[in-house]
Structure 1
Amino acid sequence: RTGPSLFQEPVMSITREEALEYHRRGRPGKISVTPTKPLATQRDLALAYTPGVAEPVLVIERDPAAAYEYTAKGNLVAVVSNGTAILGLGDRGPLASKPVMEGKGVLFKTFADVDVFDIEIDARTVDDIVRVVAALAPTFGGINLEDIKAPECFEVEERLKAMLDIPVFHDDQHGTAIICLGDRGPLASKPVMEGKGVLFKTFADVDVFDIEIDARTVDDIVRVVAALAPTFGGINLEDIKAPECFEVEERLKAMLDIPVFHDDQHGTAIISGAALLNGLELVGKDITAIRVVVSGAGASAISCSELAVRLGVRRENILLVDTRGVVYAGRQEGMNPYKARFAAKTDARSLSDAMREADVFYGLSAANVLTPDMVRSMAERPLIFAMANPDPEIRYELAKDARPDAIVATGRSDYPNQINNVLGFPFIFRGALDVRARAINEEMKIAAARALADLAKQDVPDSVLHAYDLVSLKFGPEYIIPKPFDPRVLLWESPAVAQAAMESGAARLSIDLDDYRAELALRQGKGVRVRQFIMNRARQSPRRVVFGEGEETKIIRAAVRVLEEGVAIPILLGRPELIAEKLRDLGLTADFRIVNPREFNRLEAYARAYYERRQRKGITFAQAVSLVQQRNVFGPMMVAMGEAEAFVSGLTYEYPEVIRPALQIFHTRAAAGRAAGAYLMIVDDRASHPARDRVYIFTDATVNIEPTAEDLAEIACLAADLAIQLELEPRVALLSFSNFGSTDHPLTAKVRRAVELIRARRPELIVDGEMQADTAVVPAIIDERYPFSRVRDANVLVFPSLEAANVAYKLLSRLGNAQAIGPILLGLGAPVHVLQIGDDVEDIVHIAAVAVLDAQARET
């Protein structure tokens, strides 16, 4: 490498033993199928199987479209391979391809929440491949072809597309070849296929079966897959060599009415297409005028070239180079119809000849074929996409040494700009399945590429920086495509694909894209539903929010976010020139108010107002002038003076440093004798439902160390009001180490007294106690032992002390993998909310939204 970079990840070395143990330990392989319905009783069994299963069978017989309503077809993709082009290992047969196919499934699930079955087929010819894949089509909403060698893969894809009415996609044409193992056969492909299924499920919640077929011909593969089609909602073909892969995909598409997709063809093309668009923008070149050299002429190379043409590259400006040299007009050796589309009128015969004055290099061939001298011969500001795996055509550092002005991308995760087709197939299938697409067409592929290109220009969330152990990341030469673990990819790419499917006529179902984005967000895990509610309520009537630490980079990024998303109207406290400089460094623009308290033109008026509030607390006017210049005093005073509706601080301050000045200025609310702190705890309950979270309010975890019975009653009422504000029906449990008088002790008596006070003040509330924590949250305990209790399955948990609440929320966050939103300050005389030291930008945005909700509620 040329030098250290904030954007570079550490190089990872993996031994053979580690790789084998990873796949062998525990349950062998990388995927499993998880039931979505309960199967705990005889009744469940009768519903799931005979006799209950007969009812949906009869409905589907009458109306085939009902299969999307009563079965998993609509979220299921087949990843299909014959193992003839496994990850650089070549033809190892269908069984050997199984690990690769499993791996691909992992990517689908992880990145786009798409379920996958990897299917390794023993088929070699285009006819066989198409025959098998087409047979599988009824099972799936789409088909992804993988690791089928060229040129067969082209015909496979073309024939499948013609046959089927679901998306067919060859990711080796339009995606990165997996590990570049070459043709290892169907059995060897099994780990890859299972892996792909895991990715589908993890990233796109799509269920997958990996199917390794012992088929070598196109006819055999097509025959087998076509026969399996009733099982799936889509088919993903994997590790089928070219040119058979083209025909397999084409024939299956023609035969089936679910998406068929050869990921080995199309995946890399889509991701490299996004990189091409952004790279050209950065170097200032016109896509219609550039010269492109493509090293390789297999499935990925052909598909990358075709997509580049659709994006605007002129076909005559592309030089294809294979093992026999440049593909030129009139060449006879080693040609096929797919290469012939790029036969150029040129005198260049070698890769070295072709590289002279080239603007873009696409490497889809083998390691180390590109030399530094060839790189030096390229045009100014070249783009070098060396995508061979596991080792690129030229090492990143060698390319940068030869041409410091180059933008370089590889297929490796330990260098900037990884072109990884995991950014494509899970999210493409997610979008295709959700509109019941008949196919994955060119419009959908281009939409995916453009969505990825646009996403790379957005501010990168802290969660991505943490995932890659980076300090900073922004659009530029070392970041032209999103990172695979960016959770926003699902929310950008899948809607773009769905929209393109609807607009191009490939979709059976029309959906509202705004609702669809919200639905996708719910698939991503804990807290999304609650966070969406808070954000949407804030957007209905945004308020002015003062950020006390306006010079902090995270605060600046959060302020830009809340402004762009319409959540709040941010006001930043700090030096305007420093904040403007940081905005420029971040590549962000925003038009929000910046106030420097020390230079504020109404400072004397603020000081006098503060003095009037604190003059009987030992504060002189001179002290007031000094104090109001402090940001944690000035910010609340802006709220008091009517120049803002809420104040947020605490990213760099301890909790008391924020809350103490606010209490001195505002005291508590008129109806509240006490302030308190609460956390929203979001517990993942997707075992019972894929998008279900349970929401609990824990209090008091931040303010009252040893509350009295009167304090506990007030805290419980404040927390119940918060639940109502969030449109939750409060079921309040006051916790202790005793259940309803089972232990006679002053501590339990205090809790019982608090319950009596609450019932007297707020008889409408559902409240009970004292009770143990498990009694509060497990309805079966109440039903069996304490049926007299008014509270069953509590969602507002009032702890007997700050110590207990603080310990509980932190343990649940760490050991229970729950999501904590907060702290949310309750009972204060104005909307003041405290961040935690080190909060991420996402946390800051959501606390700002909470502050807006607080302000809205007070006005009503």
Structure 2
Amino acid sequence: MDLTNEEMLEKAKKPAEEAIKLHRFYHGKMQTVPKCCIRDISDFAIWYTPGVAEPCRQIQKNPDLVYEFTNKANAIAVVTDGTRVLGLGDIGPEAGLPVMEGKCMLFKYLGGVDAVAICLDTKDPDKFIETVKNLTPAFGGINLEDIAQPKCFYILDELRKDCKIPVWHDDQQGTAAVNLAGLYSGLKITGKKIDDIKVGFLGCGAANVATIRILISAGVNPKNVLITDSKGVIYSGRSDLDDVKYDVKRHLAQITNPDGISGGQEKVFEGADVVFCYTKPGPDVVKKEWVAKMANDAMLFACANPVPEIWPWEAKEAGARIVATGRSDFPNQINNSLIFPAVFRGTLDVRASAITDEMCIAAAKTLSDCAEKIGLHEDYLIPTMDETWVYPQVAASVGVKAIEQGLAKITMSRDELIQVAEEKIRIAQETTKMLMKEGLIKSV
């Protein structure tokens, strides 16, 4: 039986209520455990002194051996300064730690990736960059998280330029890839073509900027794109974009909106086939009358956290055919957790030196194809997190693309990459289940 609007609103409150109780009960979500056998105390002579000196000497002679003798090949850092956490804003590094721990948990359980939460007590982008560079010897990759814009663009560009390991910003590349996956599926349902659609973007932060870039790379015509920020539609010649800190917006103004359309935020909805919303938490940020002005068979991605810009049932009442949000308790969750564990799994398994747009597009196509195999419909655009067979498929596509682009140090077939990913993810999930069964992770 379908829930009433009031029942759905009550359901939406439940996760927050449970979160307080369970976070306090478990004192966080992550811990460290050995991955090697410890038969008795004498094994410490192998794993620590004196035996450990020999691997150290070998790595000194050949630094690449660090990937063979340590966990670097499967370890990443999840790094934030706490300046743009979810929809909560600048809440600081301590308050951002629960989110970073959650991210690490998803990396491990869904991707078999060992992730460490690192919250930096600085808002200076150059200090942030320097710190992350100094951390890279210990990690095989860097996942940037919840950093305010515009400095997030600068930080990502500088780290990708200088670091020897792959660096990506999940709020940019991860969000863009999962948005593209949802769009691919929506186009299959509506029968529209990617190079014909009119696309609106409500908000011009990191998520939407990256989505604009990757959608254009995937075939969206920039002339069919309209973007708005808090001051209205972005167009070439808007005087406030002359400030140097708005160079990203200025560039987007030059390649989109060729007719110089101006006006308020509602403009991006007029005649749009799809609108991506990444603004402030709702509801009532997006008005029903705005949605009513979209094209037939319109798609709306209302992805603010923790509450979407408009409740999905209201958007459908206004005429949208497909509505997606960032919440797991509503249909069509468009969430990075369906992308980032697999992207890093595939990246690490081939030891790729970077994560490119092409790798992200490959991940998006595979995610949509997996949903198509199950059966696409208006309330099922991409797989859900419990369909864990999808993650090795996406990881393999990322690894194959890295190999094709000449970015990989390890070459494997697609089938081999799937097998490697399946095994690492299986171990992570079975370990958690075993700890729960033995009472080492207590049930509540």
**Given the two structures, how large is their TM-score scaled by the length of structure 1?**
0.47
Structure with more helix by fraction = 2
In 2, are the aligned partners of 1:114 and 1:427 still within 8 Å (CA)? no
What letter is aligned with 1:75?
N
- Cα distance in 2 for partners of 1:66, 1:97 equals 34
Say whether 1:481 aligns with 2:382. yes
Separation in 2, partners of 1:256, 1:455: 33
Cα separation, 1, equivalents of 2:413 and 2:322 = 38
Measure how far apart 1:24 and its partner are.
Answer: 2.4
Corresponding position: 1:301 with 2:208: yes
State how far apart, in whole Å, the 2-side matches of 1:436 and 1:97 are.
Answer: 29
Question: 3-state DSSP class of the match of 1:508?
Answer: coil
Is contact 1:9-1:413 (8 Å) kept? no
The residue identity in structure 2 corresponding to 1:365 is T
Aligned with residue 312 of structure 1, among 210, 219, 241 = 219
Q: Does residue 261 of structure 2 align to residue 347 of structure 1?
A: yes
Q: Deviations over 1:337-373 (max 9, x none)?
A: 2112221332331122232111111011122222111
Share of identical aligned residues, percent? 39
Alpha-carbon RMSD across the aligned residues, in angstroms, is: 2.5
Structural mapping, 1:468-617, within 5 Å: 474-525=375-426
Which residue of structure 2 aligns with residue 388 of structure 1? 304
Alignment of 1:148-227 (within 5 A): 213-227=120-134
Q: Is the 8 A contact 2:111 2:425 kept in 1?
A: no
**TM-fit CA distance, 1:816:** 7.8
Whether 1:255 aligns to 2:170 is no
1:701-850 to structure 2, matched below 5 A, reads none
* Number of residue-to-residue matches in the alignment: 425
1:360 to 274, 295, 313: 274
Partner of 2:442: none
Structure 2 equivalent of residue 458 of structure 1: 373
Do the aligned partners of 2:332 and 2:380 also contact (CA within 8 Å) in 1?
yes
Superimposed CA distance per residue, residues 398-421 of structure 1 (whole angstroms, 9 cap, x where no aligned partner): 111111x61111111222111011
Q: Distance in 2 between matches of 1:380 and 1:18?
A: 39
Please say which structure displays the higher CA radius of gyration. 1
Change (3 A) 1:9 1:483: farther
Amino acid aligned to 1:20: I
Q: TM-score normalized by structure 2?
A: 0.90
Partner of 2:315: 399
Q: Deviations over 1:594-651 (max 9, x none)?
A: xxxxxxxxxxxxxxxxxxxxxxxxxxxxxxxxxxxxxxxxxxxxxxxxxxxxxxxxxx
The answer for the alignment partner of 2:350 in structure 1 is: 435
Q: Tell me which of 239, 257, 273 is aligned to 1:332.
A: 239
**Conserved 8 A contact 2:110-2:425:** no
- Is 2:400–2:413's contact at 8 Å kept on the other side of the alignment? no
* SS of residue in 2 equivalent to 1:409: strand
Contact 1:111 1:485 in 2 (8 A): no
In the aligned structure 2, how far is the partner of 1:478 from the partner of 1:96? 34
Report what 2:13 is aligned to.
Answer: 13
For 2:132 and 2:116, the matched residues in 1 are separated by 12
Checking the alignment, whether the CA contact within 8 Å between 1:396 and 1:410 is kept in structure 2 is yes
- The structure, 1 or 2, with the larger RCO (C-alpha pairs under 8 Å, 6+ apart) is 2
1: distance between equivalents of 2:15 and 2:2? 27
Q: SS of the residue aligned with 1:349? A: coil
Per the TM alignment, residue 518 of structure 1 is displaced from its structure 2 partner at its CA by 1.9
CA distance 1:31–1:431, change in 2 (3 Å)? same
Q: Could you list the per-position Cα deviations for residues 202-226 of structure 1 after superposition, in whole angstroms to 9, with x for gaps in the alignment?
A: xxxxxxxxxxx11211110011111
**Residues 752-809 of structure 1, C-alpha deviations (whole Å, 9 max, x = no match):** xxxxxxxxxxxxxxxxxxxxxxxxxxxxxxxxxxxxxxxxxxxxxxxxxxxxxxxxxx
Residue 450 of structure 1 aligns with an amino acid whose one-letter code is K
Task: For 1:845-856, list aligned pairs within 5 A.
Answer: none
CA–CA distance in structure 1, aligned partners of residues 313 and 192 of structure 2: 24
CA contact (8 A) 1:441 1:506 kept: no
Counterpart of 2:69 in structure 1 is 70
Q: Name the CA shift for 1:216/1:288 in 2 (closer, same or farther; >3 Å).
A: same
* Contiguous gaps of at least 5 residues in structure 2: 440-444
Q: Equivalents in 2 of 1:281, 1:49: separation in Å?
A: 56
Deviation at 1:446, TM superposition (A): 0.6
Which consecutive residues of structure 1, in runs of 5 or more, have no partner in the other structure? Answer: 121-212, 460-473, 529-683, 694-813, 818-860
